[in-house]
Amino acid sequence: MILVLVDHDRGVLDATSVQALTAARALDSDVEVLLVGAAGRDAVAELATYGADTIHLAVHDTLTDYAPLASAKAALELVSSRSPRGIFTTGTPRGNEVLAHIAAILDAPMAAEVLSVTFGDAGVHEVVRNRWGGNLTETARVHNDLLLVAFAPHAIRAENATGAGNVNEFTPNLDAADTAVRVIDRTGGAATGVGLAEARVIVSGGRGVGGPEGFDVIEQLADLLSGAVGCSRVVTSNGWRPHSEQVGQTGTKVAPDLYIACGISGATQHIAGCRTSKTIIAINTDKDAPIMGYAHYAVIGDAQTILPELVAATRAAKE
């Protein structure tokens, strides 16, 4: 049996959770799912449409919002009672975190950013996983009977299947320390404009944009194309733009229809965040910049003179 841990926020499923469920079903006919918190009940019906037959629902008075250690403790009860051979989850912040707590408590190895899994005999399994933000892959052996795996988000395409969606509610044994770290409040939210992660078009600027003023035309072009503004880390570490706009390995990963990289060299850590964009256009003074190996189209020249003209021409074309 493979146990799949599901990441939900107050009952709303993280879309990548069902990818781990599909991965588990491809390897084992016997898959069970764990939802932690009473709010998880809202996710049951959707999980059933991805083939979940048995869904364990951990309910406890203290589980009022996400609490990583408590989620791990609930999963460990199922490890004892159901003896899975693997625990799969999605590589979201919560998925990775809960799995790492389980791994730490069991003193067992855990593989994150996983792309594919091969169960082996005698407590040695093989995984292929991302490194360096997906610029490299690693083949690794995992030395433990119970295989703990967090899949790289979107490494697997979720497949629908009909599942019974039977709920087995249980009350895990938790003490106060298990919920000492938990969500106690929420702030912000409902950002205005098009969010970076969802935008169909992103106009992104790097060091070559010259300074914070250089982003005026980038904002205008993004507005005209109903898109969002992105940037490189040089831009955020200079304080020209907020970190929420940074694209890359330690920023946001994006996959828009169009990504326009203005004055961005194309370091692998930047590419890690935008390589799956459908079309990439580079505007760069250097025809040999690494970005040219990833872009579909390029204009060689000064972004600071090209962008104002491009804004004017785009506006004219819209009228």
Partner 1 sequence: MNIAVCAKRVPLSGGRWELTADNLDIDTSGASVGFTTSPHEECAAEAAVQLVEQLGGSSTVITLGVADSEEQIRSLLAVGVDRGVIIETDGSEWDPQATASALTEQIKAGSPDGAYDLVLLGTEAADTADFQVGIRMAHALGWPVVTNVKGMTIDGGVARCERAVGSAREVYEVTLPAVITVKDGLNIPRYPSVPGRIKARKKPVDTVIIEKPAARLEKVRLDLAVEEARSAEILGTGVDAVPALVEIFKNIGVL
Ligand X SMILES: Cc1cc2nc3c(=O)[nH]c(=O)nc-3n(C[C@H](O)[C@H](O)[C@H](O)COP(=O)(O)OP(=O)(O)OC[C@H]3O[C@@H](n4cnc5c(N)ncnc54)[C@H](O)[C@@H]3O)c2cc1C
Binding site for ligand X (CB under 6 A): 206-208, 232-234, 246-251, 263-265, 267, 269-270, 273, 283-286, 289, 302-304
> CB of 138: closest distance to ligand X in angstroms?
16
Among 51, 84, 133, 172, indicate the residue that binds partner 1 (CB under 8 A). Answer: 133
**136 binds partner 1 per the rule CB under 8 A:** yes
> CB of 200: closest distance to ligand X in angstroms?
21
CB atoms within 10 A of CB 70: 26
Task: Give 29 or 176: the residue with its C-beta nearer to partner 1.
Answer: 176
DSSP string, 92-159: SHHHHHHHHHHHHHHT--EEEEEEEEE--STTEEEEEEEEGGGTEEEEEEEESSSEEEEEPTTSS---
Size of interface with partner 1, in residues (CB under 8 A): 99
Which residues inside 26-55 make contact with partner 1, applying CB under 8 A?
Answer: none
Q: Which stretch binds partner 1 (CB under 8 A): 18-26, 34-42, 77-85, 281-289?
A: 281-289
Six-digit token pair at 291?
A: 């970005």
> CB of 279: closest distance to ligand X in angstroms?
19
Are 25 and 56 contacting, i.e. CB atoms less than 8 angstroms apart? Answer: no
Six-digit token pair at 18?
A: 């069902």
Among 26, 45, 164, 183, indicate the residue that binds partner 1 (CB under 8 A). Answer: 183
For 172, the 3-state DSSP assignment is: coil
Q: How many CA atoms lie within 13 A of 195 on its CB side?
A: 7
CA proximity to 117, closest of 28, 248, 51, 46: 28
Residue 40 contacts which entry, partner 1, ligand X, none (Cβ below 5-8 A, type-dependent) = none
**165 binds partner 1 per the rule CB under 8 A:** no
